[in-house]
Chains A and B, each alone.
Chain A
Amino acid sequence: MRNNSFDIIVIGGGHAGIEAAASASRMGCTVVLMTMDRNALARMSCNPAIGGTAKGHLVREVDALGGLMGKIADETGIQFRMLNKSKGPAVWSPRCQSDRKLYSEVAVELISSFENITVIENSIVEILIENNVVVGVRTGSGEEIVARAAILSAGTFMNAIMHTGLNATNGGRFGEKPSVGITESLVNLGFISGRLKTGTPPRLKKSSINFNTLEEQPGDTNPKPFSHFTDPVNFPALSQVSCHITYTDSNVHKVLEKGFDRSPMFTGLINGVGPRYCPSIEDKVVRFSDREKHQLFLEPEGLESDQIYVNGFSTSLPAEIQLEALHKIKGLEEVEMVRPGYAVEYDFFPPHQVDSTLETKLIKGLYFAGQINGTSGYEEAAAQGLMAGINAALKIQGRKEFVLKRSEAYIGVLIDDLVTKSTDEPYRMFTSRAEHRLLLRQDNADRRLMNYGQELGLVNFQDAQIVQDREAKIFKGITACKSQKLNAKKINNFLESKGSSIIDSTETIANLCRRPELSLSEILKLDGLSEHVDISPLIEDELAMRQVEIDLKYEGYLKRQEEMIAKMEKYEDHYIPLTLNYLEVKALSTESREKLQKFKPRSIGQASRLPGVTPSDISVLLIYLKR
């Protein structure tokens, strides 16, 4: 029996799933969002925080493309901080603590506001295929739902097993069932699956912690929202709270060691590969045995919640060992554990099986997004969900695909890394992964992407127009600052007061701005400049001013990155047909031939990034493609 026909089915209502559903729906598609618990949309499985280094960039980009994550984070944030503020602008990253419960509630509310999204609570067990094209899905209760495309974003749920000590339970998240059947149905079609693992720390009862003895970590005094569309007047929406810092010590480590013989990791019970950047506390104790202490952050789970998340104490040791160790930690002497930490093992599909649009190479109309592509983290998931939703909609509408370049966005870097390098451990975004990092800043996500958002129908014309108008101000402002000279008489007093060397006759604003000790806004506030036609708009628009300042201060570096991008561009734009049979290209080395055949890069640029493919292979390819 087949009923209910939709354009797109989204399987999984996590961070990836809701972005996919929302973007596709906004672009005019009818969407059904299948999920196991309709009240758990965008549930934060692990820490109650959004953003952080490089992840914050992703949130800003998702937002500039009309995604949901930044908006929800702004509404539910209980502590906002800009990380790396002492460094240059490219590595500033916004982060917030969220009210876990509210986060999900706001997500549910937002999704229900979309008229053409139908949320169905049911588990999908099979994806239905005809002639290598998706035609629908089958639910656990045997119903078939028909659709033209399916986006799989099942997170950590597929054949998931949770471990605490030697106890293993089937389930993808505390209190939730695993998802069974999908992996098998896809492996039968020829997909390759793998196994990964991740973990989460215990949750503590807030009222049983002695915070008085602990170092407090408050949020920023003047917090900035994630979303470009959040009204700064009503921000932050919730009252703000602090985190606290404490440390483990050798006594704690000794207790933990007692449990090593019952660790699912060390006894080989878990086969999945875990993330190196997010090791469990037992891993840290073993691998860095020379360290006497490890830092822990006690993070509130919400304004009303009596739970505390122990960031840095992810563990799958037996529950009684966890508690005993916690009791040895300063401030936690009397602590009550609400729930022990656990590790979860789950299936994923090594991402060389998807194309840059996140559509699978094997089955048309099937898209993979989020944790199932081997990534880890809410932000990484959201970015993929958004892109999968957009591309599924574009394809159904017969429109041109939407792929972001590495030089345009972290989202581009993320997906390109996945499809060119695949991954055998959970992939997390870092700023160092972006070779054009200086240009991909959180402060210019709107300048980089909002236009696309508008073209796709995800961002309002008016909002995009504001960014466009600002662009003109920035351009004129830069030119003005480069030509407008200030004379010694007028400015030397100011320079002296800033501890900056005085000038002899005249100097351009641009050159003064390049001095690290001077800020553009201070210079522009000097007498007379507010009259200047191209400068006064900057004084009135803080955002434009900041862009001009960054551009002037770091001009040399930015130019160099732009040149590098220009040099690579022709390779990025040189497409390779997906149908190319590399095995026939005899002049390629055997290793490269196999690599290329496996990954099927979409451009010469991508081919050149495959590990093991040499510049000579690229020459050979270029020549071959001329045929």
Chain B
Amino acid sequence: MKFEINEDTIIALATPPGVGAISVIRLSGPSSFTAIDEVFAGKVQISSAKTHTIHYGQIIENDEIIDDVLVSVFRAPNSYTAEDIVEISSHGSPLIAQKIISLILKNCQIRLAEPGEFTKRAFLNNRIDLAQAEAVADLINSRTSVSLRGARNQMDGLLSSNVLSLRTKLIEVSAFVELELDFAEEDIEFVKRTELVAKINYILSEIEALLESFSFGKIVREGINVALVGEPNVGKSSLLNYLLKESRAIVSSTPGTTRDIIREEISIDGYLFRLHDTAGIRSSKEEVEKEGVERSKELIKNADLIVFIGDVYIGFSDELYDELRKLNPSIKILKVLNKTDLGIKRLYSEDFQISAKTGDGIPHFLNGLKVEVFQDGIYSERTAIVSSVRHYDCLTKAKKNLIRALEALSENISGEFLASDLRASEISLAEIIGEVTPEEILIDIFSKFCIGK
């Protein structure tokens, strides 16, 4: 017996995120081919391509090429899941891969795959055996139990608590709407529609803020602002040049070489970092250098992370450290000791040791930089971040339905229609954190209003 649960098409990154020279995006389900046709420009239309063929072309968004890709076509039932499958190999970083996924999700009736879903489909369509499938089941389960314990990283924790509070607010709005419907006969004052509009608008703005935080929108699109600071001549510009693998900034043994801020972007495992090489901070009488120092200070105030560079001669001055702290009290400061190749061994309080000349210690430092941002979350201290496309997807749906609810309100339509939009919105939020039951709405009503004859 074939158990058909899959009328919908799913998409996900098939290669592990953050590593490898190419990324593979997989689509499975009946609309795989039509979905790819929407965004792919090549010699052949994928929907008319033969099974087991590979096609070269570009992924296009608004006439702009996102990436050169190879598309592999597998027609049902001769595929991993026994459904129509398309695999897109993109060269770019996972960033680009995520961009492609977002693009396809935006354009088409497709949803993001749940963990293990391709394998689940493979199993349900008798492509793999039970032992394999049970391994998947365990995997699915272990993931959720982790998430249930709240042991996921902080970013997710903060997001769920944000979504949870939005959900609570949404339940409250629903309760007001339901009140009018189920308790019309009661002697209670119903909430004014203008008030509902205000409440929905508030939730909407919160959802929008979350959507904006989407890592590919914010952290990744905008990048993480890293200020390279330190006293003159410690090797800030040298480090920048080393990372860029080119002589971008002038390097010289004269202290005070860098005057204006030099901005460059690098990608560490697919994440965008904006490096800012600054003028070495010291009190100077010279007009231009003074201005340069001012700009450095301004930058430090707005940066997401400070890399405080010292060298083996002078280490890290407490004065400068205190000044940095004063300029940006909450910021994380990483101390990096440069010029270790000189063989001078002194003990400083550094977090990392590098040589901008030989490259020693730099990979370790870069990894540290990434860990600092994404696990320890300098962002998470400030705001919840939407980091998964699935969550982004859910929030987008929630938003769409709220907008529809606002339209319904403006048309002065009866409450039960409004309620159906609100409920749809609740369901989308619930997909992030768990189900909202009508019971919860009723409980809210009973706790707030004097109901009952």
Residues of A at the B interface (CB closer than 8 Å) are 52-54, 83-84, 87-88, 90-91, 275-279, 284, 287-288, 291, 294-297, 311-312, 421, 430-433, 435, 437-438, 516, 554, 557, 560-561, 570-571, 574, 587-589, 611, 614-617, 619-620, 622-624, 626-627
Could you tell me if A91 and B414 are in contact, using CB atoms closer than 8 angstroms?
yes
New A-B contacts (17) at CB < 8 Å, excluding given A88-B415, A295-B186, A438-B416: A84-B181, A88-B413, A90-B416, A91-B415, A295-B187, A312-B452, A430-B438, A431-B181, A431-B182, A432-B442, A433-B442, A437-B420, A587-B140, A615-B114, A616-B140, A619-B120, A626-B124
Task: Point out the residues of chain B lying under 8 angstroms from A275, CB to CB.
Answer: 452
Task: Point out the residues of chain A lying under 8 angstroms from B415, CB to CB.
Answer: 87-88, 91
- Which positions 427-452 of chain B face chain A at CB distance < 8 Å? 434, 437-439, 441-442, 446, 450-452
* Residue contacts A-B, CB under 8 angstroms, 18 given: A53-B182, A53-B185, A83-B185, A84-B184, A87-B415, A88-B413, A91-B414, A91-B415, A279-B452, A284-B452, A287-B450, A438-B416, A570-B5, A619-B140, A623-B123, A623-B134, A626-B3, A626-B133
Q: How far is the CB of A7 from chain B (nearest CB, A)?
A: 36
CA distance A419 to B16 in the complex (A): 43
Picked from B133, B439, B442, B450, the residue with its CB within 8 Å of the CB of A288 is B450
Task: Point out the residues of chain B lying under 8 angstroms from A90, CB to CB.
Answer: 416
Could you tell me if B4 and A91 are in contact, using CB atoms closer than 8 angstroms?
no
Could you tell me if A561 and B181 are in contact, using CB atoms closer than 8 angstroms?
no
Could you tell me if A589 and B182 are in contact, using CB atoms closer than 8 angstroms?
no
CA distance A620 to B133 in the complex (A): 9
Task: Point out the residues of chain B lying under 8 angstroms from A287, CB to CB.
Answer: 450
Could you tell me if A276 and B187 are in contact, using CB atoms closer than 8 angstroms?
no
Chain A: CB-nearest residue to B183: A53
Q: How far is the CB of B423 from chain A (nearest CB, A)?
A: 7
Task: Point out the residues of chain B lying under 8 angstroms from A54, CB to CB.
Answer: 182
Task: Give the total number of A-B pairs whose CB atoms are below 8 A apart.
Answer: 144
CA distance A288 to B449 in the complex (A): 8
Q: Which 7 A-B pairs have the closest CB atoms?
A: A88-B414, A295-B187, A312-B453, A288-B450, A587-B137, A616-B144, A432-B178
Could you tell me if A623 and B148 are in contact, using CB atoms closer than 8 angstroms?
no
Picked from A278, A516, A557, the residue with its CB within 8 Å of the CB of B453 is A278
Task: Point out the residues of chain A lying under 8 angstroms from B130, CB to CB.
Answer: 626-627
Task: Point out the residues of chain B lying under 8 angstroms from A312, CB to CB.
Answer: 452-453
Picked from B141, B148, B184, the residue with its CB within 8 Å of the CB of A587 is B141
* A276-B446, A619-B114, A623-B120 known; A87+B437 contact, CB < 8 A: no
Q: How far is the CB of B59 from chain A (nearest CB, A)?
A: 29
* A87-B416, A626-B130 known; A278+B181 contact, CB < 8 A: no
CA distance A430 to B444 in the complex (A): 14
Give chain B's interface residue range (CB within 8 Å of chain A). Answer: 35 or more
* A312-B453, A570-B4 known; A619+B420 contact, CB < 8 A: no
Render B379-422 as a binary contact track against A, CB cut-off 8 A, 1 for contact. Answer: 00000000000000000000000000000000111111101100
* A277-B452, A557-B420, A614-B434 known; A620+B141 contact, CB < 8 A: yes
Task: Point out the residues of chain A lying under 8 angstroms from B441, CB to CB.
Answer: 432
Could you tell me if A432 and B181 are in contact, using CB atoms closer than 8 angstroms?
yes
Q: How far is the CB of B338 from chain A (nearest CB, A)?
A: 48
Task: Point out the residues of chain A lying under 8 angstroms from B183, CB to CB.
Answer: 53
Task: Point out the residues of chain B lying under 8 angstroms from A277, CB to CB.
Answer: 442, 446, 451-452
Q: How far is the CB of A488 from chain B (nearest CB, A)?
A: 24
Chain A: CB-nearest residue to B123: A623
CA distance A257 to B134 in the complex (A): 63
Residues of B at the A interface (CB closer than 8 Å) are 3-5, 114, 116, 120, 123-124, 130, 133-134, 136-138, 140-141, 143-145, 148, 178, 180-187, 411-417, 419-420, 423-424, 434, 437-439, 441-442, 446, 450-453
Could you tell me if A626 and B182 are in contact, using CB atoms closer than 8 angstroms?
no
CA distance A574 to B116 in the complex (A): 21
CA distance A244 to B166 in the complex (A): 43
Task: Point out the residues of chain B lying under 8 angstroms from A615, CB to CB.
Answer: 114
Could you tell me if B416 and A91 are in contact, using CB atoms closer than 8 angstroms?
yes
Task: Point out the residues of chain A lying under 8 angstroms from B4, CB to CB.
Answer: 570
Chain B: CB-nearest residue to A421: B439
CA distance A390 to B184 in the complex (A): 34
Task: Point out the residues of chain B lying under 8 angstroms from A435, CB to CB.
Answer: 423, 438
Chain B: CB-nearest residue to A299: B453
CA distance A615 to B435 in the complex (A): 10
Chain A: CB-nearest residue to B411: A516
CA distance A437 to B415 in the complex (A): 12
CA distance A617 to B144 in the complex (A): 9
Task: Point out the residues of chain B lying under 8 angstroms from A626, CB to CB.
Answer: 3, 123-124, 130, 133
CA distance A278 to B442 in the complex (A): 13
Chain A: CB-nearest residue to B143: A616
CA distance A614 to B115 in the complex (A): 14
CA distance A54 to B141 in the complex (A): 39
* A294-B450, A432-B181, A435-B438 known; A88+B120 contact, CB < 8 A: no
Task: Point out the residues of chain A lying under 8 angstroms from B417, CB to CB.
Answer: 88, 438, 554, 557
Could you tell me if B420 and A311 are in contact, using CB atoms closer than 8 angstroms?
no
Task: Point out the residues of chain A lying under 8 angstroms from B134, CB to CB.
Answer: 587, 623
Chain A: CB-nearest residue to B140: A616
Could you tell me if B453 and A311 are in contact, using CB atoms closer than 8 angstroms?
yes
Q: How far is the CB of B444 from chain A (nearest CB, A)?
A: 11
CA distance A574 to B441 in the complex (A): 29
CA distance A623 to B180 in the complex (A): 43
Task: Point out the residues of chain A lying under 8 angstroms from B187, CB to CB.
Answer: 294-295
CA distance A238 to B416 in the complex (A): 34
CA distance A571 to B439 in the complex (A): 22
CA distance A295 to B186 in the complex (A): 8
Task: Point out the residues of chain B lying under 8 angstroms from A587, CB to CB.
Answer: 134, 137-138, 140-141
Task: Point out the residues of chain A lying under 8 angstroms from B434, CB to CB.
Answer: 614
Task: Point out the residues of chain B lying under 8 angstroms from A421, CB to CB.
Answer: 437, 439
Task: Point out the residues of chain B lying under 8 angstroms from A91, CB to CB.
Answer: 181-182, 184, 414-416
CA distance A554 to B413 in the complex (A): 10
CA distance A619 to B121 in the complex (A): 10
Could you tell me if A87 and B184 are in contact, using CB atoms closer than 8 angstroms?
yes
Task: Point out the residues of chain A lying under 8 angstroms from B184, CB to CB.
Answer: 53, 83-84, 87, 91
Chain A: CB-nearest residue to B4: A570
CA distance A54 to B185 in the complex (A): 13
Q: How far is the CB of B54 from chain A (nearest CB, A)?
A: 32
Picked from A53, A614, A622, the residue with its CB within 8 Å of the CB of B181 is A53
Could you tell me if B144 and A278 are in contact, using CB atoms closer than 8 angstroms?
no
Task: Point out the residues of chain B lying under 8 angstroms from A278, CB to CB.
Answer: 452-453
Among the interface residues A84, A570, A627, which one has the most CB atoms of the partner chain B within 10 A? A84
Chain A: CB-nearest residue to B148: A589
Could you tell me if B446 and A614 are in contact, using CB atoms closer than 8 angstroms?
no
Q: How far is the CB of B437 from chain A (nearest CB, A)?
A: 7
CA distance A443 to B136 in the complex (A): 48
Q: How far is the CB of B148 from chain A (nearest CB, A)?
A: 7
CA distance A280 to B187 in the complex (A): 15
Picked from B5, B181, B185, B446, the residue with its CB within 8 Å of the CB of A87 is B181
CA distance A158 to B144 in the complex (A): 44
* A88-B416, A620-B137, A626-B124 known; A430+B450 contact, CB < 8 A: no
Task: Point out the residues of chain A lying under 8 angstroms from B140, CB to CB.
Answer: 587, 616, 619-620
CA distance A617 to B437 in the complex (A): 18
Q: How far is the CB of B379 from chain A (nearest CB, A)?
A: 27
* A88-B414, A90-B416, A277-B446 known; A588+B182 contact, CB < 8 A: no
Task: Point out the residues of chain A lying under 8 angstroms from B123, CB to CB.
Answer: 623, 626
Task: Point out the residues of chain A lying under 8 angstroms from B419, CB to CB.
Answer: 432, 437
CA distance A602 to B62 in the complex (A): 49
Q: How far is the CB of A461 from chain B (nearest CB, A)?
A: 35
CA distance A626 to B5 in the complex (A): 13
CA distance A574 to B3 in the complex (A): 9
Q: How far is the CB of B416 from chain A (nearest CB, A)?
A: 5
Q: How far is the CB of B128 from chain A (nearest CB, A)?
A: 11
CA distance A623 to B411 in the complex (A): 46
Task: Point out the residues of chain B lying under 8 angstroms from A554, CB to CB.
Answer: 417
Picked from B5, B137, B182, the residue with its CB within 8 Å of the CB of A624 is B137
